[in-house]
Chain A
């Protein structure tokens, strides 16, 4: 016999003959009762068996049986009030049937009862409270570790800091410059349409310059940092958490906050003003390009900018950028270190880092707006 024939099942598809036998329903199976056969027979035969008062399962013609076939037969047995078996002469068929019956002996576990609506609200409240407490504890740990580094600055891992400065900063320069030019260009074009109606196109540099330096430059740079770097922090630390590397650090007596978090947070803090400045400059270049196309000389654009934009606009924007960088670094690292278990944990941590990072920068922006207004900036 060839190897193909040796495979057994699938050689002779099962057939079923159902006929009344006195008060009972006789189901006579023939051929190979396997998964494919069960797929064909399950629905109709199950209904017939459920209607029958008594069932006779005749397996005399069954040449092979797999566990799906056996599960089907045992399902039929459960459906009927009374079942008798006939033709069970093949030892192999009997063995599979016995093994499957044994496997089904233990009832399947029941899912835990679902919470009522109020229960869900309570659960979500407790979870949110725990997360907030965890966040506060994390901030405290970072503060303590930072003070420790201030006392002993040589403990800061400089190569690690430089690596993150490179990854979060230098490698983001191209993207940041491109987006900056495009934003400056779009802002200038969009504002030129209404301003032309009033002959006020010369004031486009005022509008774009102030918007970019005070608001859009830091905000867009922060979105870039959150998407690129915050998620990378969370994914890297999340993977380390899942692989128990963070626990290994703790057991070795090494503070993971000082070892892993501080270089990342410091890098994010330092790199953000640079990215924001780059985005500002690129945006102004984009705006200048549009102004030139509208017939204004570069000198006129520069003069207009000098008159409209103050140093405090730039400094205020860069200060905000540094705050955004700090928030993004903290949120990303916290998401990574609080990653759960399993393969979804890292993805969830990266998502939490991006969402949390963007929410926190918008909140911080709002706080800065109120603060600057009070300070008269």
Chain B
């Protein structure tokens, strides 16, 4: 039996100043899977992610997360839902004046009644989960790009949300670090049952981590494919999808 869906996107459209970024985007994300949103530069991947986490209001359609329409929620109900998702930003977005451990303790301090020693222990667990246990006292400026991405994941997991959104986790990383991050995402999905929604255009990562994916296209202004990324690579008839997975130049 297929797992239940934790996210439903229905007929979503994004428009800015009358310009359509994408429209008629519909898909579901199932519990415990690593779901990849892929596509070329400028196709609206990050815009879609920002709609899904409630930062942007849809021009049309809606997004249901854990059974609740995020765009219609306000006040305490919205805060309660936001506590059940975690986001790793493309740049890491770590608080520069705080150590990595303190970065993780910020949401714990704000949203839980855990005493300081418990917060410190939970922060230690999160950093240990992403392999940064020995970097707890370092500042974001003192760590590498790969470590910043890991720390971003650790902070996103601070409240143990059932869904994690990752924006371009492999961007700017060397292949070995990128592969390590891919392995970490798979491990966390397997061991903790966390659902991952990953925005990326890194082919290797898509094939390594993705259970299912959708592909957005700038020209089509919407979704052009959905399914298992390996199957799409091998069997898709769409020339854009084939060109993307085979790194081919698209004929004009």
Size category, B interface: 35 or more
User: Within residues 70 to 94 of chain B, which ones have a CB less than 8 A from any CB in chain A?
Assistant: 84
Q: Which residues of A contact B127 (CB under 8 A)?
A: 103
Q: Cβ of B125 and Cβ of A38 under 8 Å apart?
A: no
User: Within residues 42 to 67 of chain B, which ones have a CB less than 8 A from any CB in chain A?
Assistant: 64-67
Q: Cβ of A35 and Cβ of B114 under 8 Å apart?
A: yes
User: Within residues 156 to 194 of chain B, which ones have a CB less than 8 A from any CB in chain A?
Assistant: 157, 159-160, 162, 187, 190-193
Closest residue of chain A to B128 (Cβ to Cβ) is A103
Closest residue of chain B to A10 (Cβ to Cβ) is B84
Q: Cβ of B192 and Cβ of A2 under 8 Å apart?
A: no
Q: Which of A8, A43, A68, A95 contacts B115 (CB 8 A)?
A: A43
User: Within residues 53 to 111 of chain A, which ones have a CB less than 8 A from any CB in chain B?
Assistant: 66-68, 70-72, 75, 92, 95-96, 98-100, 102-109, 111
User: Within residues 31 to 61 of chain A, which ones have a CB less than 8 A from any CB in chain B?
Assistant: 34-36, 38-40, 42-43
Q: Which of A3, A36, A70, A109 contacts B5 (CB 8 A)?
A: A3
Q: Which of B3, B126, B139 contacts A6 (CB 8 A)?
A: B3
Q: Cβ of B114 and Cβ of A342 under 8 Å apart?
A: no
Q: Cβ of A95 and Cβ of B191 under 8 Å apart?
A: yes
Size category, A interface: 35 or more
Instruction: State A4–B8 Cα separation when bound (angstroms).
Output: 11
Q: Does B124 contact A (CB under 8 A)?
A: yes
Q: Which residues of A contact B112 (CB under 8 A)?
A: 35-36, 38-39
Q: Which of B101, B121, B128, B192 contacts A106 (CB 8 A)?
A: B128
Q: Cβ of A342 and Cβ of B139 under 8 Å apart?
A: yes
Minimal beta-carbon separation of A198 from chain B (angstroms): 58
Minimal beta-carbon separation of A295 from chain B (angstroms): 59
Given contacts A7-B6, A108-B136, contact A102 B128 (CB under 8 A): yes
Q: Which residues of A contact B220 (CB under 8 A)?
A: none
Q: Cβ of A67 and Cβ of B157 under 8 Å apart?
A: yes
Closest residue of chain B to A43 (Cβ to Cβ) is B115
Closest residue of chain B to A7 (Cβ to Cβ) is B66
Q: Mark B142-159, 1 if CB is under 8 A from A, else 0.
A: 000000000000000101
Instruction: State A5–B193 Cα separation when bound (angstroms).
Output: 14
Q: Cβ of B141 and Cβ of A341 under 8 Å apart?
A: yes
Q: Which residues of A contact B232 (CB under 8 A)?
A: none
Q: Cβ of A67 and Cβ of B137 under 8 Å apart?
A: no
Q: Does A344 contact B (CB under 8 A)?
A: yes
Q: Cβ of B68 and Cβ of A108 under 8 Å apart?
A: no
Instruction: State A109–B140 Cα separation when bound (angstroms).
Output: 16
Q: Does B96 contact A (CB under 8 A)?
A: yes
Q: Which of B96, B122, B190 contacts A71 (CB 8 A)?
A: B122
Q: Does A252 contact B (CB under 8 A)?
A: no
Q: Which residues of A contact B137 (CB under 8 A)?
A: 109, 111
Q: Mark A101-144, 1 if CB is under 8 A from B, else 0.
A: 01111111101000000000000000000000000000000000
Kindly name the residue among A10, A38, A108, A341 whose own CB sees the greatest number of chain B CB atoms within 10 A: A108
Q: Which of A36, A38, A104 contacts B124 (CB 8 A)?
A: A104
Q: Cβ of B140 and Cβ of A96 under 8 Å apart?
A: no
Given contacts A67-B157, A102-B128, A342-B139, contact A6 B31 (CB under 8 A): yes
Q: Which residues of B contact A4 (CB under 8 A)?
A: 66-68
Q: Cβ of B114 and Cβ of A38 under 8 Å apart?
A: yes
Closest residue of chain A to B118 (Cβ to Cβ) is A42
Q: Mark B100-125, 1 if CB is under 8 A from A, else 0.
A: 01000000100011110010111011
Q: Cβ of B160 and Cβ of A35 under 8 Å apart?
A: yes
Q: Does A1 contact B (CB under 8 A)?
A: yes
Instruction: State A280–B62 Cα separation when bound (angstroms).
Output: 63
Q: Which residues of A contact B133 (CB under 8 A)?
A: 103, 106-109
Q: Cβ of B160 and Cβ of A42 under 8 Å apart?
A: no
Q: Cβ of B121 and Cβ of A2 under 8 Å apart?
A: no
Instruction: State A16–B159 Cα separation when bound (angstroms).
Output: 21
Q: Mark A323-348, 1 if CB is under 8 A from B, else 0.
A: 00000000000000000011110000
Instruction: State A98–B139 Cα separation when bound (angstroms).
Output: 29
Can you list the 8 inter-chain pairs with the closest CB atoms, starting with the nearest? A103-B128, A4-B67, A343-B96, A66-B160, A6-B4, A39-B113, A342-B141, A106-B133
27 pairs across A/B with beta carbons < 8 Å? A1-B4, A3-B4, A3-B5, A3-B6, A3-B67, A6-B5, A7-B67, A8-B162, A9-B160, A10-B84, A40-B113, A42-B115, A66-B160, A67-B157, A72-B118, A96-B191, A98-B191, A99-B129, A103-B128, A103-B133, A104-B128, A108-B120, A108-B124, A108-B133, A108-B136, A109-B135, A109-B136
Chain B residues close to A by CB (< 8 Å): 3-8, 31, 64-68, 84, 96-97, 101, 108, 112-115, 118, 120-122, 124-129, 133-137, 139-141, 157, 159-160, 162, 187, 190-193
Given A104-B128, A342-B96, 9 extra CB contacts under 8 A: A2-B4, A3-B4, A8-B162, A35-B160, A66-B192, A72-B118, A92-B193, A104-B121, A107-B133
